Amino acid sequence: MIHIKDLRKTYKTPKGIFEAIKGLDLKIEQGEIFGIIGPSGAGKSTLVQCINLLENPDSGSITINGQILTGLSEVELRAQRRRIGMVFQGFNLLSRRTVFNNVALPLEIAGVNKEEIKSRVDELLKLVGLSHLSDRYPAQISGGQKQRVGIARALACRPDVLLSDEATSALDPETTANILALLRDINRKTGITIVLITHQMEVVKQICDRVAVLSHGTVVESGDTAAIFANPQHDVTRAMVSAATESALSEDSLDIIRQRLAQAVQANPQQDAAVWEIHLHNSQASTELLSGHLNRHGVSLGLLQAKVEDIKGVAVGKLYFQVQGSKENMMKAQQALQELAGIEVQEVIYESANG
């Protein structure tokens, strides 16, 4: 669907040549929601502007549906751009046009007749849930509603690709979730390919089928979203995943738990006590399954803290259990957990009556 090969883009600055994109390769399949993520300065916005040729790359090629865009004449490029919708962070609505007329604008530019424009705009406003606001002006609607107008406008000419450049970063979490749900619904109903440019791993986690991680103008890691979250390989990816999923016990909490475990061992010297950190990745495990394994080996437990999320049907996250039992039983229980697919167990604290 979208094939980017050896893409390069540089800018002249007072300090010399800046390489924004460095020999980047990327393939995006038809009908998927693909996330492009990375820290500030990674090259995300430059990349999305190159995809629709708002920025001309220095070299490399961009192919969409078999058509190589690089090298087209301006007239040919304008025609191809109609196949690429764009949603912006700042909405970019015309303040003197109503919601209806903002959505109609691309159709007017394309020379579509008035009857077809009305039919298409009505269809799109229904799709994004704004039929009742068609006569309002941008100043009279909320940020989330403005973004819905932007999405409807981007879809006006029935594009094959929808590019979203940080479209939710100016919105509150609830509105962001609603916009992402809308994009997923549009993707399912129309089969349109959606490319999401974002610095928010939360956005990728909620909606993207696959993701590419950018750093310093190149792709450092890419793959299925669940696999990236479950087992990130690059330092940049690990840092971003950690920020979105990390659940760690504080040092203050650990000190209190150590005191509690020492007291438990003193009260029952036949049993040792510990805190286990259980890391789920690419796992179908549930808290109930883990508890069942521990109980079957004669180990009592209490859940201290957990942050586990379902990402594309895969459990990813960390759980902290306080466990107690004989040393032998605890070793057997830990080994049994380690044998489950997608589970790692790390001992954080261990208290024994024997020291």
Backbone angles phi, psi at 54, to 5 degrees: -70, -25
Backbone angles phi, psi at 66, to 5 degrees: 85, -5
Closest CA to 331 of 282, 354, 298: 298
CATH superfamily of 2-245: P-loop containing nucleotide triphosphate hydrolases (3.40.50.300)
Most confident of 18-32, 81-95, 217-231: 18-32
- Distance separating the N- and C-terminal Cα atoms of the chain: 63
- The reported pTM is 0.75
3-class state of residue 77 by DSSP: helix
Closest CA to 209 of 220, 219, 194: 194
Instruction: Give the domain 251-351 fold.
Output: Alpha-Beta Plaits (3.30.70)
pLDDT of 250 higher than 60: yes
Give the span between the Cα atoms of 69 and 86, in whole angstroms: 16
**DSSP bridge pairs for 62:** 4
Integer angstrom CA distances of residue 281 from 17, 80, 243, 311, 345: 42, 41, 16, 10, 11
What mean pLDDT, rounded, does the chain reach? 87
Most confident of 54-58, 61-65, 122-126, 201-205: 122-126
More confident residue, 7 or 200: 7
Q: How many whole angstroms from its chain centre is CA 271?
A: 44
Tens-place pLDDT, residues 278-329:
877 755 566 666 777 777 788 887 777 777 777 766 777 777 888 888 888 8
Tens-place pLDDT, residues 172-186:
888 888 999 999 999
What ranges do the domains of the chain cover?
Answer: 2-245, 251-351
How many CB atoms are located within 10 Å of the residue 263 CB?
12
Give the span between the Cα atoms of 66 and 75, in whole angstroms: 18
Give the span between the Cα atoms of 209 and 229, in whole angstroms: 12
Residue 121: its pLDDT value, please?
Answer: 97
Which tokens in the block code for residue 177?
């979730």
pLDDT of 8 higher than 90: yes
Provide the residue type at 105 as one letter.
L
Residue 285: its pLDDT value, please?
Answer: 60
Give the span between the Cα atoms of 47 and 59, in whole angstroms: 13
Residue 289: its pLDDT value, please?
Answer: 67
